[in-house]
Amino acid sequence: MVRAELLKLAGLPSVWVAVALSLLLPPVVVLLNARAASSPDTGFLELTAGVLGPLVLGTVAAGSEYRGGQIATSLVCVPSRMRLLAAKTGALVLSVAVTAAVGAVVTPAVAGVLTGGTGPRIAGVVVYWVLDALLAYGITLLTRSGVLPLTVLIVNSTVVSVSFLLTRLTPLAAYLPDLAGAQMFIEPHDVGTDLTPVTAGLVMGAWVAVLLGVAAYVFHRRDA
Amino acid sequence: MAGPAGALTGGVITIEHVHKRRGRTTILTDVGFTARPGRVTGFLGPNGAGKSSTLRILLGLDRAQQGTALVAGRPYGQWRRPLTVVGALLDGSGAHRSRTGRAHLRWVAASNGLPRSRVDEVLELVDLTVVAGQRVGTYSLGLGRRLGLAAALLGDPAVLVLDEPVNGLDAGGIRWMREFLRRRAAEGATVLLSSHLMGELAETVDDVVVIDRGRIIAAGTLAGVTGDHPTLEDAYFALTSTGTRGRW
């Protein structure tokens, strides 16, 4: 069943665009920034932009079910909503993790900062991308359309970070999923509250767990 | 039951005392009927009468507040590889627009552990091989219906549940569908199809179930339901509210 869900993802052109985007964008940003002074986060800060791909992947994985009546076909094939959701979530995690692992090695390599000691930070990137994809996925399961989550999450992670602005109002904003999650692999300079990478992962993981729990409950209860 | 295709026999559809509300609106009231192997059962009613809702409950897509809907003795949701038991055609193609027809059938086959070779077989069966590599978004209504039917046939099921199967088909397509379903029933399959079009149906069905405003108002053999009326269509208008509401 996970295979069927992987086939579903692979059959959509937008999925491949998202994967290409997340693999190409961060190294390009590294190259463009090459002349700027390097910081401890060079080669990793750029990866926060690559999270665009996982956001699209998560949104498409859930939202595509509600295009062309595919959800009816999916539930006719796999009537147990929980089994369907488990397979779908598994396929998403797998494809984002593979993409992230490649991206998180290539980008620091391009920046020339890939050393033996970067292992934990690379793991941080993979976890961050996977959790961000799950965040978009969970929201889309609830809204049944990708428009809202894509707009909010992409604007927030690229153009204007509302979460970051909120840190100016309250230090608690550092516990918002995106800001907390990013601390798994970059050193925060001005978010106010400093989290260790592990705490950061747990905070973001908790957000995602709650969201997926609610989404699964709603998905289980409502008519397709 | 003659012939080797007796293997298709055995899938009775039993719906009993189904009630469905959506918010404060009552969609179905005490809906119940049976569709038997070897027969084509026509589920008739005007638009909005509750045909699709009933079929969606039968397939586990929507939940009823009360009642049971069984396929071959079990609720649909309890079948582990349901495509090998029931083939379902719902509205539209059931496929995402930016997927190719073949890619759609591949994931459907994979979800039920069906061999990939079945994909090409059903594409051939519904005469869709030529356009299988094109995106579903480029398909006409009729092609989309054929793709949906191809998906329904992947597991070679003994039960077919089809919501408005001839909708959007041209004259040739309607004739093809009619002959296909007749042949399937002759081989022992249970065929349940819904329609709001009487003309096409009278020549296809053995049994008729008529639903109106969420209630079953007649059920029986084609001859039984037609009764003293000249045609099934006349009986239908006499039975349903369509006649009293005027043409539209």
Give per-residue pLDDT as tens, B156-172.
Answer: 999 999 999 988 888 88
B56, A224: Cβ pair inside 8 Å?
A: yes
Question: CB-CB: which of A70, A75, A80 is closest to B96?
Answer: A70
pLDDT score for A189? 59
Give per-residue pLDDT as tens, B176-227.
Answer: 889 999 999 999 999 999 998 777 777 889 999 999 999 999 999 988 888 8
Q: Which residues contact residue A208 at a Cβ distance below 8 angstroms, ignoring those fewer than 6 apart?
A: A131, A134, A135, A138, A177
A77, B63: Cβ pair inside 8 Å?
A: no
Task: pLDDT band for B241, please (50, 70, 90 cuts).
Answer: low
- Quick check: B15 and B29 in contact, CB under 8 A? no
A76, B99: Cβ pair inside 8 Å?
A: no
- Choose between B12 and A161: higher pLDDT: B12
Give per-residue pLDDT as tens, A24-62.
Answer: 988 888 888 776 666 777 778 788 888 889 999 999 999
Residues A210-214: what's their mean pLDDT?
95
pLDDT score for B120? 97
Measured in angstroms, the CA of A148 and the nearest CA of chain B are apart by 20
Determine the residue among B21, B96, B162, B164 to mutate to test chain A binding: the one whose Cβ has the most chain A Cβ atoms within 10 Å.
B96
Residues A174-182: what's their mean pLDDT?
81
Contacts of B77 in chain A (CB under 8 A): 79-80
pTM, two decimals, is: 0.88
B111, A13: Cβ pair inside 8 Å?
A: no
B63, A223: Cβ pair inside 8 Å?
A: yes
Residue B106 at interface with chain A, using a CB cutoff of 8 Å = yes
- Choose between B203 and B116: higher pLDDT: B116
ipTM above 0.90, yes or no: no
Task: Kindly report the number of other CB atoms within 10 A of residue A25's CB atom.
Answer: 20
* Cα–Cα distance for residue pair A182/B163, rounded to 1 Å: 49
pLDDT score for B2? 39
Residue A86 at interface with chain B, using a CB cutoff of 8 Å = no
Nearest to A177 by CA among A119, A222, A130: A130
For residue A8, pLDDT beyond 90: yes
For residue B10, pLDDT beyond 70: no
Nearest to B143 by CA among B107, B179, B110, B102: B102
Helix (H) or strand (E) holding B66: strand B66-71
pLDDT score for B173? 86
Determine the residue among A16, A77, A218 to mutate to test chain B binding: the one whose Cβ has the most chain B Cβ atoms within 10 Å.
A77
Task: pLDDT band for A119, please (50, 70, 90 cuts).
Answer: confident
**Dihedral sign, Cα of residue A30, residue A32, residue A35, residue A38:** negative
Nearest to B195 by CA among B215, B173, B220, B168: B168
For residue B1, pLDDT beyond 50: no
pLDDT score for B97? 93
Residue B36 at interface with chain A, using a CB cutoff of 8 Å = no
pLDDT score for B5? 42
A1, B94: Cβ pair inside 8 Å?
A: no
pLDDT score for B57? 96
pLDDT score for B25? 92
- Choose between A114 and B128: higher pLDDT: B128
Residue B95 at interface with chain A, using a CB cutoff of 8 Å = yes
Reduced 3-state DSSP string for chain A: CHHHHHHHHHCCHHHHHHHHHHHHHHHHHHHHCCCCCCCCCCCCCCHHHHCHHHHHHHHHHHHHHHCCCHHHHHHHHCCCHHHHHHHHHHHHHHHHHHHHHHHHHHHHHHHCCCCHHHHHHHHHHHHHHHHHHHHHHHHHHHHCCCHHHHHHHHHHHHHCCHHHHHCCCCHHHHHCHHHHHHCCCCCCCCCCCCCCHHHHHHHHHHHHHHHHHHHHHHHHHCCC
Give per-residue pLDDT as tens, B71-108.
Answer: 999 999 999 999 999 999 998 889 999 999 999 999 99
For residue B6, pLDDT beyond 70: no
Candidate from A156-165, A170-179, B31-40, B195-204 with smallest mean pLDDT: A156-165
Query: If you measure CA to CA, which chain B residue comes closest to A87?
Result: B111
Contacts of A72 in chain B (CB under 8 A): 56, 59, 61, 90, 94
A14, B98: Cβ pair inside 8 Å?
A: yes
B110, A4: Cβ pair inside 8 Å?
A: yes
Give per-residue pLDDT as tens, A145-156.
Answer: 888 888 888 777
pLDDT score for B3? 38
A75, B112: Cβ pair inside 8 Å?
A: no
